[in-house]
Structure 1
Amino acid sequence: RVPDLMLLDIEMPRMDGYELATAMRADPRYKDVPIVMITSRSGDKHRQRAFEIGVQRYLGKPYQELDLMRNVYDLLGIARVRE
């Protein structure tokens, strides 16, 4: 089954978030799945690399739950999150 959306971190065991996002973009089954990267690495070089790979949203930790939900709902085409 293909997921509706993926939440990734850069720092993950065995495979980092960049590697997983790259593999997803190379696989026809997963190439269109929206990716949100949530990470403590907030530098521009990390953000730029993620966007070059095809990550749609990049959130720094700590993040606000409402910000995450707005991004998820936007990517999935769901009506706006109540404030």
Structure 2
Amino acid sequence: MLNQMPAVESVQINRIENHDKVFATTESGQEIELHITDQQKKDRLFWESLINILRAELWLPLQKRTHELLQNDWLTVDG
């Protein structure tokens, strides 16, 4: 179920420098550095997916406060 998520914004990955430096652009044009968790840094499938997302120029949901990608994509659990 989709709901209003004011703490979430859309970003598009624009470059991946290494496992610590991933940059994205918000819908308003601001460039931000994403926070990559320790678990994500070690996850080969995460990086393969992120590279495919970069190539496809897809938009992803980002937690504004922490600059972390949402694990559940655009879906959230009420509560």
TM value normalised by structure 2? 0.29
Task: Report the structure, 1 or 2, having the larger strand content.
Answer: 2
Larger RCO, structures 1/2 (Cα 8 Å, 6+ apart): 2
